[in-house]
Amino acid sequence: MVKTVVLNLLLLVTPLIVLGQVEQPVWMGASTREATFPLNTFFTGLTQGDAHVGENINDAKQRLSKDAQGLLVESIRMRVESNTLSQTTSTQINQTEHLTAEFTANVQTTAEAEIVGVRTETFLDQRTGRIHAFAYVNRFELTGFYTANLSMNLTQIEGLLNIAQNLETDGEKAKARQQLEAASPLLVSVRYAQNLLVAIDQNSSPESLQLPKTEQLLKMLIQVQARLAQAVYVYVKSEETNFLQSTEVIANQLKSILATMGCSFVDDSARADFRLKISAKTRRHGVQHGLTVCYADVAVSLFDVRRNRTVFQDEFSQKGVHASAEAAGRKALEGAAPQIASRISAWIEN
């Protein structure tokens, strides 16, 4: 009788115990995890831990989920480092050295937790109170995303370089430089995507990685960069008056002269190699042989941005003669431009 009562109690309690249990996810067991998430298809990260003192369960789950993602990313990073593509280096072009440094840092960082398609799951073991976190991502999804991302970035780089070359041809060298600056970080992204694709599939071909096109665009970028590096960028601020009439006679004449010396001109002083400031006013001096004589009183200062100091500063007066005072004043302003060019050329050409 007693045995019957005990057996009946066990039959009543056992379903309650089963109902109170939460079924473990397949990734908790090594064999089921390997079968469900085979290494030839998935990158994974698995971790476990307890909630910290004063930490609620949800916060602990989020923390351990990030840890699991970090382990997944680390496994990819290690494969990337072991399969790093050959890097293009140059001791001649600073831009290329900069790209190489960025690329190396990009490959070595563990901060690429933005990897597309990463999923995380957590499980709280009610018996032990431990939290388990599992992160996983499908290799084929990664391949699809980064292959498309690679093509998109290469297309953007090609477009930016074409625009840069057109701007260079039109003499807009400052704007051309901006296009190159926009292309540089995209090239870093291209290099990372290529290395990630090699990490996923070590048998990736140069064609699938678009290595020939990448090298072609890099070569083009370096060539355009080298040509633009030879130009000197000047910001000109000129305050000129010809008998109280505002004008830009000196500025226009001076730009024409400096352009023959390889100078280009920018509207943004922050992008300039030199900042040239001119102040000029005309005044009537007298009459000579029936013609009006005027002078342009000119003040010039040249600031070298790279040296962070004013390298030239001077004041002088330039004579102009013509039938009318206005025309004589203009002659004086026109004559001042080559005088300024001769004074500052030695600094700009250094």
Higher pLDDT, 350 or 220: 220
Q: Is the pLDDT of residue 13 over 50?
A: no
Report pLDDT digits (tens) over 247-263: 999 999 999 999 888 78
Q: What is the band of 240 on the pLDDT scale with cuts at 50, 70, 90?
A: very high
Query: Tell me, what's the pLDDT at 195?
Result: 83
Identify which of 348, 177, 167 has the alpha carbon closest to the alpha carbon of residue 261: 348
Q: Is the pLDDT of residue 110 over 70?
A: no
Cβ-contact 346, 335 below 8 angstroms: no
- Domains of the chain, residue spans: 23-137, 140-229, 232-349
Quick one: 232-349 is in which CATH superfamily? Lipoprotein like domain (3.30.160.150)
For range 89-109, the mean pLDDT: 43
Cβ-contact 95, 150 below 8 angstroms: no
Burial (CB < 10 A; 0-12, 13-18, 19+), residue 333, is buried
Report pLDDT digits (tens) over 14-27: 444 444 456 889 99
- How many whole angstroms separate alpha carbon 113 and alpha carbon 331? 67
Task: Give the fold, CATH level 3, of 140-229.
Answer: Methane Monooxygenase Hydroxylase; Chain G, domain 1 (1.20.58)
Domains 140-229 and 232-349 share a fold: no
Query: Tell me, what's the pLDDT at 306?
Result: 77
- How many whole angstroms separate alpha carbon 229 and alpha carbon 105? 25
| Whole-Å CA distances, 262 to 7, 138, 269, 340 | 101, 54, 18, 16
57 contacts: CB under 8 Å, gap ≥ 6: 51, 124, 131
Classify strands 232-242 and 274-288 as parallel, antiparallel or unpaired. Answer: parallel
DSSP code at position 304: E
Tell me the Cα Rg of the chain: 35
Higher pLDDT, 45 or 94: 45
Q: Is the pLDDT of residue 87 over 80?
A: no
Higher pLDDT, 246 or 308: 246
Burial (CB < 10 A; 0-12, 13-18, 19+), residue 121, is middle
Report pLDDT digits (tens) over 148-184: 999 999 999 999 999 999 988 876 777 788 899 899 8
194 contacts: CB under 8 Å, gap ≥ 6: 85, 150, 209, 210, 211, 214
